[in-house]
Chain A
Amino acid sequence: MAETNSGTPSPQRHDGTVRVKRGLAEMLKGGVIMDVVTPDQARIAEEAGAVAVMALERVPADIRADGGVARMSDPEMIEGIKAVTTIPVMAKARIGHFVEAQILQALGVDYVDESEVLTPADEAHHIDKWSFTVPFVCGATNLGEALRRISEGACMIRSKGEAGTGNVVEAVRHLRSILGDIRKITQADSAELFEWAKRLQAPLPLVQEIAETGKLQVPLFCAGGLATPADAALAMQLGAEAVFVGSGIFKSADPAPRAKAIVEATTHYNDAEILAKVSRGLGTPMTGIGMDEINVRMADRGW
């Protein structure tokens, strides 16, 4: 080994800092996080270029179809997926179910999604995410919800959309709501920021910070209903920094090429020529459902 001109190693090592936790979200930007329910699907996702996989027992479309209570996945199932992939593995805990989150942290998952796709465990409280080393992502339908989650320690926000529908309309609504309010806040004067904090039911310092920087404190990703490369590029052009695709891949006719095309579309989201190329011949996307056909709005879960 070559001779070093550096000094002694540093004792000031810190694990699980905000910078370390938000940092992994930075590394996932411009990428696609894919829902997988088996090790085989995890391999397909990684091979297609996913930046991370979300390990769960049923994709949202099946949770929606099956009804009943949806809970954290079996640790054995999560371990099975961890064993076959080298990319980060995420897993979902129920809203407010801090013990599920403790278990996921003990399993060594890379990100915990406190998710409305599962049946909430607490009707008033989300998890106090500051007390964990593992970082958390949380869903939001509007800026107030996003800032409440950030105040609880979320290190990444994903717009919720409506999971398991294959319908992008709610994702667009939520992204536009979050980013539109951020744009408006940057135009507000200092007195108006108090009213914004009240209206959003969000901590004033976070609102003031947004007025100054013009952006959310943590990376903003998009989820819920994305099914095509064009959907992914739409979310990116609207201002999302990465995308989650759940049922959209493995509920389609031919998952592997669709997964690859969505990855490529997320990178080249501003290049219509490439988008046209990667969108060709992908087979049938998931069928999808209209918002007037669903009984449960998962996006309404969360407080």
Chain B
Amino acid sequence: MSPVPVVGVLALQGAFARHVDALRRLGFDPVEVRRPEQLAGIDALVMPGGESTTMIKLLTGFDLVEPLGKRLADGMPVFGTCAGMILLAANVLDGHQDQLCFGAIDVDVRRNGYGRQVDSFEADLRVAAVGDPPVRAVFIRAPVVVRTGPTVEVLAENDGVPVLCRQGPIMVSSFHPELTDDDRLHQLFLRSLG
């Protein structure tokens, strides 16, 4: 492993540029990942928000499913936000028949579980792992966590529903920390790289 970990950002579609900005602010030099060979050189990965159906098509079409699955099985740390969370989940309720998820974290989610865009919202979250002040969380057509397994750590809830979860090297959020200038959740994730 290189002295400064190389963090990749899955850049097939979505808000990947905002994650790249956040990682740069924290002193990293992130790599945009679009092709399978780019997975080999990274120590950790951020899977951004966007449209999960589009990402699945592009992951499949460009032979990323198998190598990414392998890196996940080998324990690569990954932070998935919104669509990224859907892709990392164990089960996706009312997804498509060909819905693909990597099962990297033992949570079940429902796509667009909070409703359509007119139901999107932002709210303050208490996240004990990062302390005060609260994290301003932006939920956009967000997935709802409907089940968490016994080894999943719930780091934050909104209205009693888990919205930030961690299990070993995998961290997921229903909301979009990349849409604010508060980088504490990225920092929290990167701390796990040692």
Chain B interfacial positions (CB closer than 8 Å to A)? 11-18, 34-35, 49-51, 53-54, 57-58, 61-62, 82-83, 95-96, 111-112, 116-129, 134, 138-141, 147-160, 162, 164, 176, 179-180
Contact = CB atoms under 8 A, between A and B. Distances in A.
A12 B138 CA distance: 12
A200 interface: no
Given A1-B162, A111-B117, A267 B58 contact: yes
A183 B139 CA distance: 33
Interface of A: 1-10, 12-17, 19-20, 23-24, 26-31, 46, 48-52, 86-88, 105, 108-111, 133-135, 260, 263-264, 266-268, 271, 274
A4 to B, nearest CB: 4
Contacts of A19: 122, 138, 179-180
A108 B116 contact: yes
B120 A23 contact: yes
A17 B139 CA distance: 11
Given A50-B54, A51-B13, A2 B153 contact: yes
Contacts of B156: 6
B51 A5 contact: no
Contacts of B154: 1-6
Contact of A2 (B124, B129, B152, B179): B152
Contacts of A3: 154
A9 B160 contact: yes
Most chain-B Cβ atoms within 10 A of its Cβ — which of A10, A23, A105, A109? A23
B117 A110 contact: yes
Contacts of A52: 51
Given A5-B128, A264-B61, A267-B58, A15 B11 contact: no
A274 B112 CA distance: 32
A108 B115 CA distance: 10
A30 B141 contact: no
A5 B125 CA distance: 12
A23 B138 contact: yes
B93 to A, nearest CB: 12
B57 A263 contact: yes
A27 B49 contact: yes
Given A9-B157, A15-B121, A20-B120, A31 B152 contact: no
Given A6-B154, A14-B122, A24-B140, A30 B128 contact: no
Contacts of B12: 30, 267
A23 B179 contact: yes
Contacts of B159: 9
A110 B141 contact: yes
A30 B11 contact: yes
Query: 10 closest A-B pairs (Cβ-Cβ)?
Result: A7-B126, A49-B57, A110-B117, A30-B13, A10-B124, A9-B159, A4-B154, A51-B51, A13-B123, A26-B15
